[in-house]
A and B are shown apart, each in its own frame.
Chain A
Amino acid sequence: MNQTVQEYSLAELMICAAAEAFRHDGEILATGIGLLPRLAASLAMKTINPDMMMTDSESYMLSDPNPVSGRTSHEGQAQESWMGFSRIFDNVWSGKRHAMVGPSQIDRYGQTNISALGGSYQQPKVQMLGARGFPGNSISHANSFFVPAHSKRVFVQDECDVVCSIGYNPERLPKGYSLDDIDIRMVITDLCVMDWNGPNHMLQLLSLHPGVTVEQVLENTGFEIYVPTDVPVTAAPTQQQLQTIAQLDPLNWRSKQLKDNPPGDRR
């Protein structure tokens, strides 16, 4: 059942790698923002962390994750609790949550930006969403990042244009806090898997997706990252994982998330 298979897409590889972020979380609310992170959290709940909690992305907590495609109504969803927006904050501030989000910019400190780019703050060149829940999430609970297109535009050389989430920046650390109070977990990109456990909370390379080189990662990252001597290849999805993903996404919307739906093994 667990033997690896030949054919899988990069999206599926990234879903499986991202699911690992939730493996040891136990009974927390996992929130995957966007289709692939949501599939990753759903896969984790169905396989490696059945204690996890998830919502229907609207207002109910579910005992079993909903499929992301192929549904036309809420009929039959396994709702176990109401979880409206205001109650999400009660949960956020209790710390029992792990969010996987897709920032537009990430800097060397793990600070992120989804608010605005360039110009001045009074007149940004590009207005994006706004800080949303990033400030509160980042100081309250674990956060992981999902980056569909690993580039220097995302992993920026300088500090983020607008710092929406707290990271490992000693200059910005609030009084009474230590860097160890900040909990940034995994970074899953289309090239590799990383975390922030390098020396002094540097971003470090954990695994390279099949066919990707260390040089490719370095060329596409705007700041120095820590590269251990041996960097393994990201584990290929198992048959069981692929089956579960297919059940969670019967219409294969995952194939439309990455440009041209590349294969997972690019060797």
Chain B
Amino acid sequence: MNKVMSAQQAVGQIESGMTIGVGGWGPRRKPMALVRELMRTDVKDLTVVSYGGADVGMLCAAGKVRKVIFAFVSLDFIPLEPYFREARQNGSIDVMEIDEGLMLLGLRAAAWRLPYIPTAVGLGTDVVKNNPDLKVIDSPYDDKEWLAMPALNLDIALIHVDRADERGVCQIKGPDLYMDDWFARAAQNTIVSCEELVDTAHFHQGDEARYVHWERAQTQAVVPIPGGAHPSSCNPFYGFDTKHFKEYNVSAKEGGFDGYRAKYLSGTTEQDYQQAVGGLDAIRKLPLPVY
């Protein structure tokens, strides 16, 4: 089965009002090329589930978002994401603010086809108070109450990986896969962009298959886009683009998103974008972060 398609074809499956999950973590291995492609469509009213970074900020700034389900939205070395902040402080988006671990449980519940997973996480905090749709339930086994974290069922998941074959076998060799495996499992339809499209024989070598973290049946579309995580990192290929993120952050105070969009997103393809940021070679040379 050949699942390779263009970014436009893949993202064309996203419809207004859908719930989409975005893999990665803060400024790390975000499927930014797919996010940029999504910004070129007229889709709106999305619910976005993400360990958020510039993916969430840009989609908010571009008017694509009705609701964000999040535990944080941050660029890590720049703690506060400027355009998510703006959207919140304008009151222009709805939110479901939960714990990082609750999000994981919600994705697992969806993946395992459960309505909810019980947990102590969130009890006693405003996570419960500010989300009236989060139910607190009695246990059939003890006298305590528990939070019932509902399944976060995703229509679409967007994920960026190191390598994939045309059948959707995906490889991530970076130090962490974040929760990408759970995003893939929680979604009806998972769209993966990859640094390299490889033959299936690649995975037969040595221990390459050990870096495959979900089944190919969980991937419906494969989009080869080298450099597609920029300006976030794709360790071990490249680190995040500190300079670009700083400029992005400053743009919020100097004219807002329109200026950033005009400079970097006015082209019609990812190649235009990569040219605007100095080319794929420059992206591949971005140093890996050392924490």
Which one, A73, A165, A167, contacts B290 given CB within 8 A? A73
Which one, A84, A115, A121, contacts B177 given CB within 8 A? A84
**A127-B84, A127-B88 known; A89 and B100 CB under 8 Å?**
yes
User: Is A163 a contact partner of B126 (Cβ separation < 8 A)?
Assistant: yes
Question: Could you say which residues of chain B place their CB within 8 Å of the CB of A125?
Answer: 89
**A89-B100, A125-B89, A128-B80 known; A135 and B179 CB under 8 Å?**
no
**A131-B125, A135-B122, A135-B127 known; A123 and B90 CB under 8 Å?**
yes
Which one, B88, B100, B178, contacts A132 given CB within 8 A? B100
Nearest residue, chain A, Cβ from B145: A175
Nearest residue, chain B, Cβ from A89: B101
B side interface size, CB within 8 A:
49
User: Is B290 a contact partner of A129 (Cβ separation < 8 A)?
Assistant: no
User: Is A132 a contact partner of B71 (Cβ separation < 8 A)?
Assistant: yes
Chain B 109-155 interface residues, beta-carbon cutoff 8 Å to A: 119-127, 129-130, 136, 138, 142-145
Binds A, one of B33-41, B91-99, B252-260: B91-99
User: Is B291 a contact partner of A57 (Cβ separation < 8 A)?
Assistant: yes
CB of B72 within 8 Å of the partner chain: yes
User: Is A130 a contact partner of B122 (Cβ separation < 8 A)?
Assistant: no
Question: Could you say which residues of chain A place their CB within 8 Å of the CB of B122?
Answer: 135-136, 139
Give how many A-B residue pairs fall within 8 Å (CB-CB).
147
User: Is A139 a contact partner of B143 (Cβ separation < 8 A)?
Assistant: no
Which one, B70, B175, B182, contacts A60 given CB within 8 A? B175
User: Is B88 a contact partner of A139 (Cβ separation < 8 A)?
Assistant: no
CB of A229 within 8 Å of the partner chain: no
Sorting the interface of chain A by its residue count into under 10, 10 to 19, 20 to 34 or 35 or more gives: 35 or more
Nearest residue, chain B, Cβ from A163: B126
Nearest residue, chain B, Cβ from A166: B124
Rounded to whole angstroms, the CA-CA distance of A143 and B222 in the bound complex is: 43
User: Is B136 a contact partner of A89 (Cβ separation < 8 A)?
Assistant: no
User: Is A130 a contact partner of B97 (Cβ separation < 8 A)?
Assistant: yes
User: Is A122 a contact partner of B291 (Cβ separation < 8 A)?
Assistant: no
Rounded to whole angstroms, the CA-CA distance of A172 and B124 in the bound complex is: 5
Which one, B72, B102, B177, contacts A136 given CB within 8 A? B102
User: Is A133 a contact partner of B176 (Cβ separation < 8 A)?
Assistant: no
Question: Could you say which residues of chain B place their CB within 8 Å of the CB of A10?
Answer: none
CB of A173 within 8 Å of the partner chain: yes
User: Is B72 a contact partner of A123 (Cβ separation < 8 A)?
Assistant: no
Nearest residue, chain B, Cβ from A68: B291
Best-buried of B72, B88, B179 by chain A (most CB within 10 Å):
B88
CB of A140 within 8 Å of the partner chain: yes
Rounded to whole angstroms, the CA-CA distance of A208 and B242 in the bound complex is: 40
**A85-B178, A123-B91, A176-B145 known; A131 and B127 CB under 8 Å?**
yes
Question: Could you say which residues of chain B place their CB within 8 Å of the CB of A174?
Answer: 120, 123-124, 136, 144-145
CB of A22 within 8 Å of the partner chain: no
Question: Could you say which residues of chain A place their CB within 8 Å of the CB of B176?
Answer: 58-59, 84-85
Rounded to whole angstroms, the CA-CA distance of A173 and B144 in the bound complex is: 11
User: Is B73 a contact partner of A130 (Cβ separation < 8 A)?
Assistant: yes
Chain A 162-207 interface residues, beta-carbon cutoff 8 Å to B: 162-167, 169, 172-177
Rounded to whole angstroms, the CA-CA distance of A57 and B145 in the bound complex is: 33
User: Is B125 a contact partner of A84 (Cβ separation < 8 A)?
Assistant: no
Question: Could you say which residues of chain A place their CB within 8 Å of the CB of B175?
Answer: 58-60, 84
CB of A12 within 8 Å of the partner chain: no
Rounded to whole angstroms, the CA-CA distance of A86 and B94 in the bound complex is: 27
CB of B85 within 8 Å of the partner chain: yes
Taking the closest CB of chain A, its distance from the CB of B77, in whole angstroms, is: 12
**A130-B70, A132-B100, A176-B144 known; A123 and B88 CB under 8 Å?**
yes
Rounded to whole angstroms, the CA-CA distance of A167 and B123 in the bound complex is: 11
Closest 9 CB pairs of A and B: A176-B144, A123-B91, A166-B124, A127-B88, A136-B121, A59-B175, A130-B72, A135-B99, A174-B123
10 contacts across the A-B interface (CB closer than 8 A):
A74-B290, A86-B104, A93-B121, A130-B73, A130-B74, A131-B126, A132-B72, A134-B99, A135-B123, A164-B126
- With contacts A139-B124, A175-B145 known, what are 16 further pairs, Cβ within 8 A? A84-B175, A89-B100, A121-B126, A123-B89, A127-B88, A128-B80, A131-B97, A132-B72, A132-B99, A133-B101, A138-B125, A139-B120, A164-B125, A166-B124, A175-B138, A176-B142
